[in-house]
Amino acid sequence: MTNGILVFAEHREGVFSKTSFEAITAAQQLGAELGQAVTAVVLGTDAALAGQVAAYNVDKVVSAENPKLAEYTPDAYTDAMERVVRALEPQYVILPHTYLVRDFAPKLAARFGKSVVSDCIRASVAEGAVTFARRIFLGKIDADVLTDGEAPVFATFQSGAYRSEQAARGDAAAAVETMAVEVGEVRMKPEPAFQEVKQAVDLTKADIIIAIGRGIKSQENIALAEQLAAALGGDIAASRPICDAGWLPIDRQIGSSGQTVAPKLYVALGISGAIQHLVGMKNSTTIVAINKDAEAPIFDIADYGIVGDLFEAVPVLTEEIKKLKG
Amino acid sequence: MKIIVLMKQVANKDSILRINKEGTWIEEGDLTFEVNESDGYALEEALRIKERQGSGEVIVCSMGPQRVKSVIKDALARGADRAIHVVGDDLAHIGPYKAARILAEAIQGEQPDLVLTGLQSDDYGFAQTGVILAELMGLPHATIVIEVDASGEQLRVKRELESGWYQWYTMPKPALLTIQSGISQIRYASLKGIMAAKKKEIREVQPAADDGASGAHQRITKIYFPQKTKQTQFLGDGNAKAGATALAEKLRTEARVI
């Protein structure tokens, strides 16, 4: 018999990520709907870390321990998680869709002859079966996904899919169960993580951001956006492809691999709105999108939208703003 | 050094996607296709590693119906030495575990020193095929790689973490890396390259018969456009200039940012 939901709580050097608590929320909600117990698992070298998770309303916390888990490697984490999953035989294994999880979860699932239902944004239960929803085509379309139900089902949830503050705390601390896990040869050796030279531009403090994407078409056209930024008194930023092309420096990049901002006004010019970009700006107070594709995902979160040619709209917008500011 | 680059053909990023009548997938009839963005960067990195070392072989491998030949030919024109095409009409729609099994079968005999692919596809976006393939082939791997140093006995790679953090990993060869977009500037195919590509080998292989153990564990039951989380006010009604004028007014009176 297989049973229960296992949720993976991710930490880096002892600090749990916000998305881990979102995953706990997801696991608790699924557990309630399916009538299944939730167990959290923390990988590391001692049980102190697991104590932080035990405050949440879970059946128990498994502290899977091995000296080789002191730092993250896909080899060690996969071995450890495989041991835990085989020991507990959960029906669902829920993980946050972080860069760390992306690095090892497919390897873990492959040990069970399957893949991960990855990057989910929702899960709903009907007649005991879970339907997962994922974004496909860079966020343009949603897909409902059913699994064959055969345990274990591995699923990862996108950052923001559930709310971390909704993770329910328990009346009393959950029991922490220590599990010494075997870890085989670890082939990769990590060096300490680091940040690139201090970013010259701190966009997190900007009140107004004019961001450009692929739709700007050429480096010369950036001048149009700069004129709008000057009129509004804002800063220029960009989605990843613009920085990849070297049109703007990397410290202007907004999104999961760049800066996360929440200005009063965010104007997205020619940005379709891949999820990696949206996570970096979706909390902006007012979002404006100008894009020729009416189905672009950026419009899903925009307050004001113009479907059309940005090369027509932007010069007019700049002039009108200058007039209004008089 | 023998490098295999796995490249997927996906719907062109600028395509207007339409959902089919059954609501199960997009209408593919009127689509144009292109190489998956990060796979293009994987090829570029392979070519640069070969150039830095002054010798070696870059083999491109793609899976799918005959239309994927355009991706293969473009890769050969840019400098790949030869290609493997795993042929099958339905291969674009199998899950990552099954895809990895078929790819492992197709390339295992080549005994590559390095396998490169993009970090995820722009259509299904599973972000798993490379990692599962590494597991099936018994190779160490690293994902979301933005720099590769293949000059030493060991491979040293820079991985992107979240929020502007990075980390170097060292691992033995052979290994599999999934490459992040933007690792370098992608070259264009030269006319000479396009001519030379015509003489390069494209070996077609058929996937092994399904043994039943690799079935799809997840299947799409329905696709649909995402529900809007915000009520967007669309301005201009298709007239971009009129929209801009209306927008300036809204920014002053409603959003109060002017």
> CA nearest B12 in A: which residue?
A137
What is the per-residue pLDDT for B215? 54
Within 19-58 of A, beta carbons closer than 8 Å to B belong to: none
CB contact under 8 A, B97 and A300: no
Burial class (CB in 10 A: 0-12, 13-18, 19+), B205: middle
What is the per-residue pLDDT for A205? 87
> CA nearest A323 in B: which residue?
B248
**Facing residue for A301 by CB, picked from B142, B185, B229:** B229
Which residues in chain A are closer than 8 Å to B124, comparing Cβ atoms?
Answer: 136
The two three-digit tokens of residue B131, written as one number? 């990692």
What is the per-residue pLDDT for B105? 94
Consecutive sets of 10 residues in chain A, 326 residues long: mean pLDDT of each? 86 89 96 95 91 94 96 97 97 96 98 95 92 93 90 93 92 94 97 78 90 96 97 96 91 89 95 91 94 92 96 97 91
Work out the minimum CA distance from A31 to partner chain B, whole angstroms: 20
Section B78-107 average pLDDT: 93
The complex scores an ipTM of 0.91
Task: Report which of residues A152 and B214 the model is more confident about.
Answer: A152
Alpha-carbon distance values, A170 to A46, A61, A91, B64, B86 (Å): 22, 12, 23, 50, 53
Percent of chain B whose predicted confidence (pLDDT) is above 90? 80
Q: Does A308 touch chain B (CB under 8 A)?
A: yes
Q: What is the pLDDT of residues A53-62, one digit of tens each?
A: 999 999 999 9
**Facing residue for B160 by CB, picked from A74, A257, A307:** A257
Work out the minimum CA distance from B223 to partner chain A, whole angstroms: 4
Q: Does A264 touch chain B (CB under 8 A)?
A: yes
Q: Does A60 touch chain B (CB under 8 A)?
A: no
Alpha-carbon distance values, A211 to A155, A232, A235, A304, B66 (Å): 33, 13, 8, 15, 39
Q: Does B31 touch chain A (CB under 8 A)?
A: no
Peptide bond into B174 cis (omega under 30): yes
CB contact under 8 A, B240 and A134: no
CB contact under 8 A, A240 and B141: no
CA angle, A145 as apex, A141 and A150 as ends, to 5°?
160
Within 165-184 of A, beta carbons closer than 8 Å to B belong to: none
Section B49-57 average pLDDT: 96
Q: Of A240-249, B56-65, B157-166, where does the model show the most confidence? A: B56-65
**Facing residue for A107 by CB, picked from B16, B135, B224:** B135
Poorest-pLDDT segment among A234-243, B56-65, B204-213: B204-213
Written as one letter, the residue type at A6 is L
**Facing residue for B128 by CB, picked from A118, A137, A214:** A118
CB contact under 8 A, B123 and A135: no
Q: Nearest to residue A9, comparing CAs of A26, A29, A31, A33?
A: A26
CB contact under 8 A, B257 and A286: yes
Q: Nearest to residue B131, comparing CAs of B62, B98, B178?
A: B178
Work out the minimum CA distance from A242 to partner chain B, whole angstroms: 10
At A280, phi and psi to the nearest 5? Answer: -90, -5
Distance between CA atoms of A136 and A120, rounded to whole angstroms? 10
Q: Given CA atoms A92, B105, B121, A143 in this order, what sign does their dihedral have?
A: negative
**Which residues, in sequence order, are CB contacts of B148 under 8 Å at separation 6+?**
B45, B49, B155, B156, B157, B158, B177, B183
What is the per-residue pLDDT for B213? 47
What is the per-residue pLDDT for A2? 56
Q: Nearest to residue A11, comparing CAs of A59, A38, A39, A51?
A: A51
CB contact under 8 A, A195 and B165: yes
The two three-digit tokens of residue A99, written as one number? 């860069």
* pLDDT of residue B214 exceeding 50: no
What is the per-residue pLDDT for B216? 66
Q: Does A301 touch chain B (CB under 8 A)?
A: yes
CB contact under 8 A, B244 and A191: no
What is the per-residue pLDDT for A198? 59
Q: Does A129 touch chain B (CB under 8 A)?
A: no
How many other C-beta atoms can be found within 10 angstroms of the C-beta atom of residue B225?
A: 13
Q: DSSP assignment of B146-199, as one string?
A: EEEE-SSSSEEEEEE-STTEEEEEEEPSSEEEEEPTTSSPPPPPPHHHHHHHTT
Q: What is the pLDDT of residues A132-186, one digit of tens each?
A: 999 999 889 999 999 987 899 999 999 889 999 999 999 999 999 999 999 999 9
The two three-digit tokens of residue B18, written as one number? 């339409």
- Which of left, alpha, beta for B238 (phi over 0: left; psi -120 to 50: alpha)? left
The two three-digit tokens of residue A313, written as one number? 């709209």
Within 204-223 of B, beta carbons closer than 8 Å to A belong to: 213-223
